[in-house]
Amino acid sequence: MTDPLPDYRGRLLDRLETVVRDIADAVAAIPEDRWPEPIHAGARSPHTIVAHLRDVERHAYLNRLQRLIAEESPAFDSFDPANWESDFHDPAESMTHLLSDYASLRETELQILRGLSPAGWARAGRHTTLGVRTVQWWAERMLDNSEDRLRELRG
């Protein structure tokens, strides 16, 4: 019996890469003058969505991947998206810059993930509310978050 994990992880890595382009395409499909406005009632603006996506990659996912590889059983705090938006969102930041930063952060994450052995994918740390989670779980969560933001952008 062959191990299905290498194929699964390959597909996961492929999608982690291609979703970046899909997000940029979704943003490009929205008129630029609408980027600061909520997509619909009760929704966030495209600018806020992409800024949040970029910052979650920077402050949560990439940081966690790096620590999972470098440390034995690191402990992680929660990333509070509500506080992020009120404290750190800069509506004047250009969408081009946000998308470029997001793509660069994702490429760094992919370089880490592509170089992992099976044991590397299984390295784990403890999150304060989510419990013990592996590198693979975090990679899957990164993709889920990107796919959720893509659906949000597509309205």
153, 46 contact by CB (below 8 A): yes
pTM of the model: 0.93
Give the residue-averaged pLDDT of 67-74. 96
What's the structural domain count of the chain? 1
Residues 7-65 pLDDT 10s = 999 999 999 999 999 999 999 999 999 999 998 888 899 999 999 999 999 989 999 99
* pLDDT tier for residue 1 given thresholds of 50, 70 and 90: low
The residue range of the domain holding 127 is 5-154
Q: Is the pLDDT of residue 101 over 90?
A: yes
CATH number at residue 124: 1.20.120.450
Query: What's residue 50's pLDDT?
Result: 96
Q: Which residues of 36-58 are buried (b: 16+ CB within 10 A; e: fewer)?
A: eeebeeeebbbbbbbbbbbbbbe
What distance in Å separates the CA atoms of residue 44 and residue 85, rounded to the nearest whole number?
Answer: 10
Residues 72-100 pLDDT 10s = 999 998 877 677 777 778 889 999 999 99
Query: What's residue 78's pLDDT?
Result: 86
Residues 130-151 pLDDT 10s = 999 999 999 999 999 999 999 9
Closest CA to 67 of 75, 56, 77: 75
